[in-house]
Amino acid sequence: MRALIFVNGEYAAATEAAEYYIALAAAADLVIAADGGASQALMLGVTPDLLIGDFDSLAPEELEKASAAGAEIERHPVHKDQTDTELAVAAAEARGCDEIVLVGALGGEPDHLLGNLSVLRGLAQRDRTARAVAIDVVVRALCAPAKLVLACAPGTRVSLSVLTERASVTLSGFDYEVTHGSLCANSCVGLGNAVAQPPATITLHKGELLVFVFDHAEARGVHDTGSNEPEAGPGDAAEQPVDDGGSTGEPDGPYDEDVI
């Protein structure tokens, strides 16, 4: 069961972007708006099934409009220990959703952006399928052991950001491949790789990662491996990760595998 959560963040304004957001809502089993995220949903003609938050960033008339359209309203105090996005995620999980898509979570205020990425990490730690999406990028968190298969076109830019002190990864089908390579949290190695030959596979043996896929099609769940996407520039290419000799300190697998 898939939940789409409209976060109170940054949204693209183009007509194509509006169609993208509407399609995401149509594909969801449950649509939740986190406080001011309801403004974007209502502007698109999408009525959330649930509107949740302290409503400090939503105009009273918009709250009334959502309620009149049939949205369930769940109000929380302003002084609380969770963000409105966290409340929305908890509500989705409580209603049985095992796949969660966050929209509007990848822009806006940088502290909330980092908070939303922390939400993705928590969902991965709880074994949920989750991603934050925008019209041209998808972000997922992986917790070892895990495997992510990308059917993106050659040239699609992919970046890895380490969440733990170190992570051990195997990359195949990329410009920069490695077997049991060691990535560090205090290094930018892992940024700016690119798909060379789909399907490209990220196998995480140890640690936790954020995976950024800069793919116009992948953000929609549609892949055309025959399309001709631009190659990553030379300034974007990551250094070859250091091979740790295949020793991870943990047995490999079984992996949680996701194909996108």
Tell me the DSSP string of 154-198: TT-EEEEEE-SSEEEEEEESBSS-EEEEEEETTS-TTTTEEBSSS
Please determine, for residue 210, whether its predicted confidence score (pLDDT) is greater than 70: yes
d(CA 98, CA 80): 25
Looking at 104, 135, 166, which one is the last position of a domain? 135
3-state class (DSSP) for residue 234: helix
Are 18 and 71 contained in the same domain? yes
How far apart CA 183 and CA 136 sit, in angstroms, is 25
What is the domain-level CATH number for residue 242?
2.60.120
Measured CA to CA, the distance from residue 260 to residue 20 in angstroms comes to 17
Same domain (yes/no): 103, 163: no
User: pLDDT tens across 99-120, in order?
Assistant: 999 999 998 889 999 999 999 9
- Total domains in the fold of the chain: 2
Range of the domain at 251: 142-259
| Domain end residue (candidates: 118, 135, 152) | 135
**Chain segment 35-81, per-residue pLDDT in tens:** 999 999 999 999 999 999 999 999 999 999 999 999 999 999 989 99
Specify whether 79 is located in the same domain as 148: no
129 and 27 in a common domain = yes
pTM, 2 dp: 0.84
Residues 86 and 123 in one domain: yes
> What pLDDT is attached to residue 171?
98
Domain CATH for 40 = 3.40.50.10240
C-alpha span between 157 and 168 (Å, rounded): 20
235 pLDDT higher than 50: no
**Final residue in a domain of this structure, among 135, 151, 177:** 135
